[in-house]
Amino acid sequence: MRELTKEALNQFEKHYGYSAELLIQAPGRVNLIGEHTDYNDGFVLPCAIDYSTIVASKKRSDYLVNIIAIDFNSKDHFQLDQPIVKSEHGWANYVRGVFKYVQETHPNFTGVDLIIHGNVPLGAGLSSSAALEVSIATTIKTLYNLSIDPKELAKICQKAENKFVGMNCGIMDQFISTLGEQNHALLVDCRSLETKSISMPKNLSVVIINSNVKHGLVDSEYNLRRQQCEEAASILNVSKLRDATIELLEKHKDEMSDVVYRRARHIITENARTINAAKALTNNDIVTMSELMQAGHLSMKDDFEITVPAVDCLVDIVKAEIGNKGGVRMTGGGFGGCVVALVPNEMVEQVRKAVENQYHTQTGLKESFYLCHAMNGAGKIS
């Protein structure tokens, strides 16, 4: 983090010729359980991680926004007193979208110079996009002292991604990047947006292993899953699958395709698993947590069909080492990306070695291994 910060400040001086007045960070996230439940108004259990996007900034008074994205080796600029339209640079649309929707409700700001730098792995399912959106929104809010509460800020960022970028995501990623708590996961009710802080067991480490299978087909498959969930909800005559039960689903099984039935079964069972996982972690009941994570992974593999063989392989390797002393499952939207494992502290090296020895041989791929900690959400770096 210190290195990232130093580099962001240096680059700011180099490009703009004066010093930044503010440094903001927004973290990526890992979801412990509750996958694809957010847009079904259900429950999720993520924590923010110590990989983040950093933004160095300074106010301007001429309605110009200058952006330099170090990691993309790319620049963008636009005027706030003219309509904000799409850029040809993919990354820039996350930034432009946030400016557009902050401006919609809080129009009183007059420009900014920005440097963006970060270390959230891209396309790995650890929410680099949400970290970017939240870092920008928090920068505008802090620089101009705008009164935007954290939940509203997360919703503005989600709107930018849904309506400006065109990715129909739920609220989880922006929410945890904004509201994360050090040493805690957050059980989020994605309907009411109420949260419960769940203390992370001290004897377990949060290990994330990137399969380095880049997300493929994410947008199209993600949107298809959403449609299938909506179709199931409509057949079950509920507003969202959050309101359905397994009994109701079984009663209407013959009215839907097998695929739609299995999609709904994943969401209904995943919501229950997520609530139970929060209880298990609270009680330091690792065996139950382990079983819930395993069941969650199988449900994503067989019912929701969002895992890929390399990710399943990583889960198997880790599971063989930790048994029910910890838990492991795919994390994030799916179709590549990472697994998350809760590993007894004293077994982390053993797990690292097992993955190192077996993953490449079995898949031809090389993993990346991140030992993480649950962190606070976005804020000022002093």
Task: Please check if 181 is assigned to a binding site.
Answer: no
Task: Please check if 57 is assigned to a binding site.
Answer: no
Smallest gap, in angstroms, from Cβ of residue 23 to ligand GAF?
26
Smallest gap, in angstroms, from Cβ of residue 241 to ligand GAF?
13
Task: Please check if 123 is assigned to a binding site.
Answer: yes
Task: Please check if 152 is assigned to a binding site.
Answer: no
Task: Please check if 360 is assigned to a binding site.
Answer: no
Smallest gap, in angstroms, from Cβ of residue 249 to ligand GAF?
20
Q: Point out the catalytic residue in the list 173, 254, 258, 312.
A: 173
Task: Determine the angle formed by the axes of helices 128-143 and 172-179, rounding to 10 degrees.
Answer: 50
Task: Please check if 220 is assigned to a binding site.
Answer: no
- Cβ distance to ligand GAF smaller for residue 111 or 123: 123
Phi, psi at 283, each rounded to 5°: -90, 5
Smallest gap, in angstroms, from Cβ of residue 303 to ligand GAF?
14
Summarize as ranges the residues that interact with ligand GAF (CB under 6 A): 31, 35-36, 38-39, 169-170, 172-173, 332-333
Tell me whether residue 173 is one of the annotated catalytic residues.
Answer: yes
- Cβ distance to ligand GAF smaller for residue 117 or 215: 215
Q: Strands 22-31, 379-380: parallel, antiparallel or unpaired by DSSP?
A: antiparallel
Task: Please check if 124 is assigned to a binding site.
Answer: yes
Q: Are 305 and 68 in contact (CB under 8 A)?
A: no
- Cβ distance to ligand GAF smaller for residue 214 or 360: 214
- Cβ distance to ligand GAF smaller for residue 143 or 171: 171
- Cβ distance to ligand GAF smaller for residue 90 or 323: 90
Smallest gap, in angstroms, from Cβ of residue 226 to ligand GAF?
9
Q: Are 37 and 54 in contact (CB under 8 A)?
A: no
Smallest gap, in angstroms, from Cβ of residue 245 to ligand GAF?
21
Task: Please check if 106 is assigned to a binding site.
Answer: no
Q: 230 Cβ partners below 8 Å, 6+ apart? A: none
- Cβ distance to ligand GAF smaller for residue 332 or 377: 332
Please enumerate, by residue number, every residue annotated as part of a binding site for Mg(2+). Answer: 129, 161
Binding region for substrate: 35-38, 222
Any idea which residues carry the catalytic annotation? 173
